[in-house]
Amino acid sequence: MSGSTESPPAVKVVATRISMTSIVLLCVAASSIVALLRFPFTLDDAFITFRYARNFAQGYPLGTWNVGEVPVEGFSSLLWTLILAAGIKLGLSPLLLSKCIGYLSAAALPCVTLLASSSTGANSREKGLDATTLRCASVMLSLYFPLFYYSVTGMEATFFALQVLLLLLIPVLSPGPIRGLCAALISMALVLTRPEGIFIAGFVNGYGLFSAGRRWPRSWACIGLVATAVTFLGLTAFRLHQFGEIMPNTYFAKATGGSAIHRAYLGIRYLVQFLLLVAPAAVALAYSAIRGRRRIFSDSLLIMLLLLCGIYTLYVVKVGGDPNAAFPLRRHFVHSIAAFALLAGTIIAMKSENATKAVRFSLITSLLTACWMGTIWGSPLLKEGLLLAVHAGPLQLAPPPLPIAWYGRYSAPQTVIALSTAGQQPWYIPGRYIDMLALNDAHIAKYGHVDSRSKMLDTKTDMAYVLGRHPDIIVGYLQAHSMLENQCPGELHGDRSMMMHDMVSNPGFQHDYVFIVNGPYPEDTNAVFFSKDYLKHLGAPELQGVSVDQTVLGHLDCR
């Protein structure tokens, strides 16, 4: 009797699944170190949404930035704001809640993709979503560090990315009877979470309808399209009623104004920087595409993913990307990373006939890309995260900066404060805030001026309007240390020089405001200016102020 040592096919399948699960979980654990190091830190813009959510939870109209003023849609995600507001109502901290949802969403992306690889059947193979494609995508998602970086920043980036993935995987993950319900719920969430959600939901559902066949029922796609359209129309009607606009204020603040050429230049620059960020993966995918070029245009799913990623990239270029100082590691591509990962997985699977070799190629490529990002692009962020984790504790939230506590001693709910970083301070310190960079001010967003010489996106401002509101305190974009050393601040010649020149050259600013010499000025801190009337009203003899026209800003050669 002859024996055979070859394992049965079922045993091989189980062994492969266990091996893939171990690889993906190990990669997720490695990437989670990034999230752990960055956990104490929260992006400044996240606090904007926290403020809107808190005001709504306290019973004020949705979109209340300053209590008693006309609502403005300064938040970038309606659904995220509502979720955080519900959490506040329940007594939960929006900082902790946003980080928990963000991290769980990021960790779910590779895990859900891997789960889908074990659920693929005839329908999915017919459309190109085979197990190899999904396993390659899962590995790439598990080692994409920007995904885990943004998971704990307080933003909705990874929450949105998970929705994109779930919609793309509906034919694989959802049983037939509930596909329509899943498509409707996810499409509604996409539209309510990000402005680009309407495009992604419409495009993916449209593809589902176009590619529908006898074995891929079109009903779920029809339901998804209807839900997308109804949600968008309802959201637009609500915006007209609540804010008097059909688009969020953030759209007017970031994506309008200035020349189209200047915005395209910023967008192309942003795209090039993203390609440099993922250079090893970009080279590997180019190689794979060349190897599998004969099959690329024979697969409808691959064509759809190419179009989805291509059109989304054009959208990012059109809006000019994001300012890297505020959003490092190219945040816009985190939103759509699921589509890019599935595209990459499909190309690699087509290049390689052997599933094991395809997964191995994805793993090596992802590891090289992660090392590249960590050593070349992300090392300052990781070092900063390590210092934060040591200082605050790996699972502790970073305390507010000391300057913010200082403002609390001289601000009241009716104090009018103008500032360019309208995040942490408006969250922690009471006051009526003027956002000099337009995100939370409808007038500046629509009628402000863009500095066409700047290499930054968010330069729209209107300092004549800001100073016309006679703010009690101005947190200038000028470095206090330069002024204390009687040197012209470099910001007068930087990316926001137009905003600074408009402020410094204004006669009212020169004569009606004082520079607080003994303000809260650790390294790289913005100068603080009080109006003379407000300083007199405060009666705070410990504050030492010098009239602006008597400082270095009063010199003509400094203006």
Question: For the chain, what percent of residues have pLDDT higher than 70?
Answer: 92
What letter does residue 133 receive in the DSSP assignment? H
Instruction: Please determine, for residue 133, whether its predicted confidence score (pLDDT) is greater than 70.
Output: yes
Instruction: Please determine, for residue 125, whether its predicted confidence score (pLDDT) is greater than 60.
Output: no
> Which two structure tokens, joined as six digits, stand for 255?
């994506």
Q: How many domains does the chain have?
A: 2
Residues 319 and 452 occupy one common structural domain = no
Contacts of 141 (CB under 8 A, 6+ apart): 109, 110, 113, 147, 337, 338, 341
Angle of helix 337-351 versus helix 300-319 axis, rounded to 10: 140
Residues 329 and 421 occupy one common structural domain = no
Other CB atoms within 10 A of residue 409 CB: 12
> Which two structure tokens, joined as six digits, stand for 334?
């985190």
Q: Are 530 and 514 in contact, with CB atoms under 8 Å apart? A: yes
Please state, rounded to an integer, the average pLDDT across all residues of the chain: 90
Is there a domain that residue 6 lies in?
no
pLDDT band of residue 296 (cuts 50, 70, 90) is low
Residue 310 main-chain phi, psi, to 5 deg: -65, -45
Q: Which amino acid is at 451?
A: D
Decide which of 368, 389, 410 is a domain's last residue: 389
Residues 385 and 406 occupy one common structural domain = no
Residues 422 and 371 occupy one common structural domain = no
Other CB atoms within 10 A of residue 348 CB: 29
pLDDT at 12: 47
pLDDT at 307: 94
Is there a domain that residue 101 lies in?
yes
Decide which of 344, 362, 389 is a domain's last residue: 389
Residues 275 and 417 occupy one common structural domain = no
- HEC profile of 165-188: HHHHCHHHHCCHHHHHHHHHHHHH
Residue 104 parent element (H or E) = helix 94-117
Mean pLDDT to the nearest integer, 7-18 = 52
Other CB atoms within 10 A of residue 152 CB: 27
Strand 432-435, strand 416-419: pairing: parallel
pLDDT at 9: 52
CA–CA gap between residue 72 and residue 67 (Å, rounded):
11
Range of the domain at 335: 20-173+258-389
Residues 534 and 422 occupy one common structural domain = yes
pLDDT band of residue 120 (cuts 50, 70, 90) is low
Is there a domain that residue 250 lies in?
no
Q: Are 124 and 171 in contact, with CB atoms under 8 Å apart? A: yes
Is there a domain that residue 232 lies in?
no
Binning the chain into helix, strand and coil, the percentages to the nearest 5 are 65, 5, 30
Question: For the chain, what percent of residues have pLDDT higher than 90?
Answer: 69
pLDDT band of residue 559 (cuts 50, 70, 90) is low
Mean pLDDT to the nearest integer, 219-238 = 95
Instruction: Please determine, for residue 184, whether its predicted confidence score (pLDDT) is greater than 50.
Output: yes
Residues 406 and 372 occupy one common structural domain = no
Residues 297 and 417 occupy one common structural domain = no
Long-range contacts (CB closer than 8 Å, 24 or more residues apart) made by 173-180: 173/112, 173/115, 173/116, 173/119, 174/220, 176/217, 179/217, 179/219, 179/220, 180/219, 180/220, 180/222, 180/223, 180/224
Residues 312 and 426 occupy one common structural domain = no
- Could you read off the pLDDT of 401-458 as tens digits, one per residue? 888 889 999 999 999 999 998 899 999 999 999 999 999 999 999 999 998 888 888 8
Is there a domain that residue 125 lies in?
yes
Residues 30 and 84 occupy one common structural domain = yes
Burial of 303 (0-12, 13-18, 19+ CB in 10 A): middle
Which of 293 and 273 is assigned the larger pLDDT? Answer: 273
CA–CA gap between residue 500 and residue 455 (Å, rounded):
15
Whole-number Cα distances in Å, 374 to 149, 272, 340, 367, 371 = 11, 18, 20, 10, 5
Mean pLDDT to the nearest integer, 312-322 = 93
Is there a domain that residue 334 lies in?
yes
Q: Which amino acid is at 219?
A: S
Residues 307 and 166 occupy one common structural domain = yes
Instruction: Please determine, for residue 552, whether its predicted confidence score (pLDDT) is greater than 90.
Output: yes
- What residues form DSSP beta bridges with 514? 530, 547
pLDDT band of residue 16 (cuts 50, 70, 90) is low
| Dihedral sign (CA 552, 557, 558, 559) | positive
Q: Quickly list H helices, 393-522.
A: 402-408, 424-428, 442-447, 463-468, 480-484, 497-504, 507-512
pLDDT band of residue 512 (cuts 50, 70, 90) is very high
> Which two structure tokens, joined as six digits, stand for 194?
């990000």
Q: Are 277 and 330 in contact, with CB atoms under 8 Å apart? A: yes
Decide which of 389, 424, 447 is a domain's last residue: 389
Q: Are 451 and 459 in contact, with CB atoms under 8 Å apart? A: yes
**Nearest Cα residue to 65 out of 407, 438, 474:** 438
- Could you read off the pLDDT of 46-64 as tens digits, one per residue? 999 999 999 999 999 999 9
Is there a domain that residue 507 lies in?
yes
Whole-number Cα distances in Å, 219 to 182, 185, 215, 275 = 12, 14, 12, 38
Q: Quickly list H helices, 118-178.
A: 122-127, 131-142, 145-151, 157-168, 170-173
Mean pLDDT to the nearest integer, 376-381 = 84
Is there a domain that residue 217 lies in?
no
CA–CA gap between residue 454 and residue 224 (Å, rounded):
41
Mean pLDDT to the nearest integer, 206-230 = 81
Residues 412 and 524 occupy one common structural domain = yes
- Could you read off the pLDDT of 169-183 as tens digits, one per residue? 998 887 777 889 999
Least confident of 75-89, 111-125, 175-189, 376-390: 111-125
> Which two structure tokens, joined as six digits, stand for 222?
């029809």
Q: Are 148 and 34 in contact, with CB atoms under 8 Å apart? A: yes
Least confident of 92-106, 116-130, 238-252: 116-130
Strand 473-479, strand 432-435: pairing: unpaired
